[in-house]
Structure 1
Amino acid sequence: MVLILSVAKSFDYNEKEIETEEGLEAMYDRWRSHHKVTEKSPERFNAFKATAQLVHNHNKLKKSYKMKINGLADMPIEEFRSAHGDEVLANLKLPGPGCPACPACPNCPAAAGPKDLPPSFDWREKNVITPVRRIPGCFNMGPAITSIEAINAIVTKENLVLSQQQVIDCYPGGPIGAHTVYEFALATGIATLESYPEVGGKHNCDKAKFGKKLVTISGYEQLNHIPNEEAVMRMVQEQPVIFSIYTNDEEYKNYAGGIYNGACEGWPKWVLLVGWGQDPDGTKYWIGKTTFYGEEWGEKGYIRVIRTPEGFCGMYKFGFRPFKTIETRNIEL
């Protein structure tokens, strides 16, 4: 009997297809039909073959996380890096260790002591995290957008979905990155997705789409070399925070679920940390939200990353958190 292999609910295949070039090509055509992909080229077919072999071999091993053949399977790794990694951050020389006592969130309760930190915590249970969606364009901006959505919901009790498209279209400078989102929110305010829909690419700024409300912040902080796990937990307990993870590009691209503890190499990827937890076997993890491929990727758009004192894959080296006080009102148009 041929073993049918599947991870999550997306694309199924059988192991016989992996064994021959003809089987892989037929599998690729089924995948293209499944994901409604019209483009076909030798380069993309080669990328798909490499992905299929990687996923198949990985899932036969007893690892703490699984992979799957998702909608990014035929994307060459160079294209994935340019779209989903952060080249500026990859080449950034961070300042030395510092910030042993980072400024407290101006609108949050006093930080908890280590004995007061619960074994699990999840902002998704508090109605401040917007639904996972795929945000086209500059993918290193998406987690910054969602971090503003979260702090705005915490302070105003309004759970608003915001438009990255408006930032891309209307930001006057460059390059565009996570910091761009915060600077734009400070200077202009960010429109809701309902008013200014995502279409991908850069277009002329259309102020007619700004709608009735622009969400603002009172400031933001760049986080460099946070000293330990406990300090990050305190921050995340105050509000969701974005950090970068230097993970293997292929493993991350094909992540399907479980606690990621793979190779620490490749370009940095931004995630919004929304909480933490612990498996029955005692393995501790962070819960991260992504925006680059919607609910099909990972655990319905989320990743669990192993939680370590020093920060797995450089996680505590670089991040951002926005601030919003009660006095910082959104702009009503």
Structure 2
Amino acid sequence: MSPNKLLFLAAGFFLSSLFIGAYARDFSIVGYTPEDLTCIDKLINLFESWLEKHSKKYETLEEKLHRFEIFKDNLKHIDEKNKATTNYWLGLNEFADLSHDEFKKMYLGLKVDDKMPRRNESPEEFKYREFEALPKSVDWRKKGAVAAIKNQGSCGSCWAFSTVAAVEGINQIVTGNLTELSEQELIDCDTSYNNGCNGGLMDYAFAYIVSKGGLHKEEDYPYLMEEGTCEENREESEVVTITGYNDVPANDEQSLLKALAHQPLSVAIDASGRDFQFYSGGVFDGHCGTDLDHGVAAVGYGSSKGSDYIIVKNSWGPKWGEKGFIRMKRNTGKPSGMCGINKMASFPTKTV
């Protein structure tokens, strides 16, 4: 065993004494045994296995010890939450060595401000009426209108991924072709009101796509996970167009479902709650506010074991959640919906 590993084990034993003392009882955690949480050797081995699984490396032993402490605290939260909830559960994903403050700074990026009026008021046809019958469930993934899960990385570009998911969806519905489009072009070029990796808003991005006559394909303008130089005419390659966009009436879940029955939507949520960082499965009905800070895409809705939900496509990679997706509870009785999902939904329009 290397000297660094021995030193890490010794330091971990010292730093973990209080943790073990507080947890010297039976546990239940998804994927791990009670012994993994109460035995220092097993706890360190669990951390080492997690490092290997997610290809994590640290430059110094001090950094590794620091990340181990954060890992333990996150593990404690995951375990306690899994014992207290029944509809959803958390797990040790690739974000387990990040504090929640670090995670929020890196992965949330919706910016709502007053620089430009956002609301593009919807015509009456987009409002739900009581006599309208909606499908009991919709899943645009099964209809071929949802591309593979992507990973925004540590760039606050969720707004671009939300925009692209909605445009990919309506383009497939109208043309029959599921074409993956470029978030990077939006990050690099849509700078009048949006701010690249420092956040943005989906409606601004829809307006940009209309004004520029389309958006390039992902393969022609690939994602860099950082801001780059705008190349709107990159190789004069093919673009996908939209004709406009509309906003779903705010705080009106039935109108949101009506719109969602026709196509995927861009939606905004409050994802600042700690459970979002480690969500692993189930119908999420945990604590969250309505201060919108994350752009995602609604791609369907349904029910499971008495729980109604909206299917949401995220941009944190396929290892997060249910292969990159989260089911968020609907019919909460609150106009704004779970985590504010009903507050600011919008969608692009396209004619043949």
- The alpha carbon displacement at 1:67 in A equals 0.6
Change (3 A) 1:118 1:164: same
Q: Does structure 1 conserve the Cα–Cα contact (< 8 Å) formed by 2:162 and 2:297?
A: yes
The structure with higher relative contact order (CA 8 Å, sep 6+) is 1
1:313 corresponding residue in structure 2: 339
AA aligned opposite 2:264 = P
- Note the residue ranges of structure 1 that are not aligned, 5 or more in a row: 327-333
- The alpha carbon displacement at 1:111 in A equals 7.0
What do the CA deviations read for 1:126-180 (whole angstroms, capped 9, x no partner)?
Answer: 1111122223431232111101111111122221001111222233444241334
Report the more deviating stretch, 68-77 or 135-144: 135-144
Change (3 A) 1:115 1:169: closer
Between Structure 1 and Structure 2, whose CA radius of gyration is higher? 2
AA aligned opposite 1:244 = A
User: Within 5 Å, which residues of 2 pair with 1:1-333?
Assistant: 7=30, 12-19=31-38, 23-39=42-58, 40-86=63-109, 88-89=111-112, 102-104=123-125, 114=131, 116-136=133-153, 137=155, 138-173=157-192, 174-176=194-196, 177-179=200-202, 180-188=204-212, 189-206=214-231, 209-210=234-235, 212-223=237-248, 225-226=250-251, 228-265=252-289, 268-279=293-304, 281-292=305-316, 294-308=317-331, 309=333, 310=335, 311-326=337-352
Q: Does structure 1 conserve the Cα–Cα contact (< 8 Å) formed by 2:248 and 2:255?
A: no
- Note the residue ranges of structure 2 that are not aligned, 5 or more in a row: 1-25
SS of 1:233's equivalent?
helix
Greater share of strand: 1
What do the CA deviations read for 1:220-249 (whole angstroms, capped 9, x no partner)?
Answer: 2344623x3211111111211122222452
> What TM-score comes out, normalization by structure 2 length?
0.77
Change (3 A) 1:214 1:286: same
AA aligned opposite 2:80 = N
- The alpha carbon displacement at 1:6 in A equals 6.9
Distance 2:207 2:97 in 1: 35
> What TM-score comes out, normalization by structure 1 length?
0.81
What do the CA deviations read for 1:79-129 (whole angstroms, capped 9, x no partner)?
Answer: 22123224633x789x9x996x74546xxxx97865521211111121111
AA aligned opposite 1:185 = I
Q: Does structure 2 conserve the Cα–Cα contact (< 8 Å) formed by 1:85 and 1:140?
A: no
Report the more deviating stretch, 44-53 or 165-174: 165-174
AA aligned opposite 2:299 = V
2:6 corresponding residue in structure 1: none
SS of 2:345's equivalent?
strand
Q: Does structure 1 conserve the Cα–Cα contact (< 8 Å) formed by 2:110 and 2:159?
A: no
Distance 1:261 1:66 in 2: 10
AA aligned opposite 2:313 = K
CA RMSD of aligned residues (A): 3.2
